[in-house]
Chains A and B, each alone.
Chain A
Amino acid sequence: VTASRESNGRFRVLIADDVDDLRALYRHVLEVSGLFTIVAEAGNGRHAIEMASEHQPDLVILDLAMPEMDGAQALPEIIEASPGSRVVVLSGFAERSLGPMVRTAGAAAFLEKGITPDRLIAELARVMRND
């Protein structure tokens, strides 16, 4: 494992998604896994940049379609504000539509929403292991 962890051994995560229910569910799934702890949440891209700058999380889970500033706009600024973070885009859009674009912009991975909780945890763990 290459990324840093906090004292309890968990990766510190920022979740940016404008759907409150989904943020709560992702928080639950990630925390129950024992691998991640949520240090901040954001409901739009601009807030995500602020939270990334403030918390310097190990992992940012970033939605794309959000109000005020979308995830694609926020992505480069999140990387600039928190250079040590890995950013995983988790979007309702298809990977083939936007995956190449967000990877070029610096995202470590693109995951489609609808992925099962087990698979989500496995993919996020893979990203944090830098496989």
Chain B
Amino acid sequence: MEPGELLEMLDNVQDVVSRYRLLPTPAMEYVNHAVERLLGYTPEEIYAQPDLLAFSVHPEDWDVLQPFGQPGEAPAEPVPVRLRRRDGSWVWVELWNAPIFGEDGGVVAVAGVARDITERRMVEAANRELEAVRLRQAQALEINDNVVQGLVTAKLLSELGRNAEAIDVLERALDGARRIITELLEGTEGSDEVLGRGLRRESAAGGAM
């Protein structure tokens, strides 16, 4: 394949493909036209401002960009990062950067591929929200089954004058409530920290005599 044919092919792929030279002086050597669709900048604008792509990475996402390995090592896995578009909006991409090594073993350039994963991230976020809703529903059912039903039964027994039975049921409901609280706290991220702070309330508990 001729180099011209290769570049033509790269300009027709959906992903942004780039090659950033580090030595002897940093410069964007190549970026395909997909960048205009993804970020709103033409390749010519990026050639004129070589750091534009690097500075478009969201500051909170810098940590996920791994340092390059050594020659012969397997390339790093692609990482999800947010890039700022020309219009100021953010787009999620899966970024894959591969070092290109010089004869002395040093990194002389970086080949990059960026794939738009905004839609996938939206689906993932929707699934997380759905999972959270399911968890809240399960917790509501646990409380209903183990506490509310017991309280209802005890109240009804008491209203019918069957107080000894009501107290038995209340004790079972209390055990159920304690178990649920324990499970909820044990299943909470950072529960040790919460317990360590003594479970300080935001407001006074209601109902206690």
Residues of A participating in the B interface, judged by any CB pair closer than 8 Å: 19, 21-22, 25, 28-29, 65, 92-93, 113-114, 116-117
Report the minimum CB–CB distance from B187 to chain A (whole Å): 21
Contact B156 A92 (CB under 8 A): no
Contact with A along B110-141 (1 / 0, CB 8 A): 00000000000000000000000000000011
Contact B144 A93 (CB under 8 A): yes
Contact A21 B140 (CB under 8 A): no
Q: Is B38 an interface residue (CB 8 A)?
A: no
Q: Is B149 an interface residue (CB 8 A)?
A: yes
Within the assembled complex, what's the spacing in Å between the Cα atoms of A28 and B184? 36
Q: Is B148 an interface residue (CB 8 A)?
A: yes
Contact B145 A22 (CB under 8 A): no
Q: Which residue in B141, B144, B152, B159 is a CB contact (below 8 Å) of A22?
A: B152
- Jot down 24 A-B pairs with beta carbons below 8 A, ordered by A: A19-B149, A21-B169, A22-B149, A22-B153, A22-B156, A25-B153, A25-B156, A25-B157, A25-B160, A28-B160, A29-B156, A65-B141, A65-B144, A65-B145, A93-B140, A93-B144, A113-B149, A114-B151, A114-B152, A114-B155, A116-B159, A117-B156, A117-B159, A117-B160
Report the minimum CB–CB distance from B168 to chain A (whole Å): 10
Within the assembled complex, what's the spacing in Å between the Cα atoms of A49 and B156? 27
Chain B residues whose C-beta falls within 8 Å of the C-beta of A93 in the assembled complex = 140, 144
Chain B residues whose C-beta falls within 8 Å of the C-beta of A116 in the assembled complex = 159
Chain B residues whose C-beta falls within 8 Å of the C-beta of A65 in the assembled complex = 141, 144-145
Within the assembled complex, what's the spacing in Å between the Cα atoms of A21 and B141? 18
Q: Which of A19, A25, A92, A93 counts the most B-chain CB atoms under 10 A from its CB?
A: A92
Chain A residues whose C-beta falls within 8 Å of the C-beta of B160 in the assembled complex = 25, 28-29, 117
Within the assembled complex, what's the spacing in Å between the Cα atoms of A114 and B153? 8
8 more CB-based (< 8 A) A-B contacts, given A65-B141, A114-B151: A22-B149, A22-B153, A22-B156, A25-B156, A25-B160, A29-B156, A29-B160, A116-B159
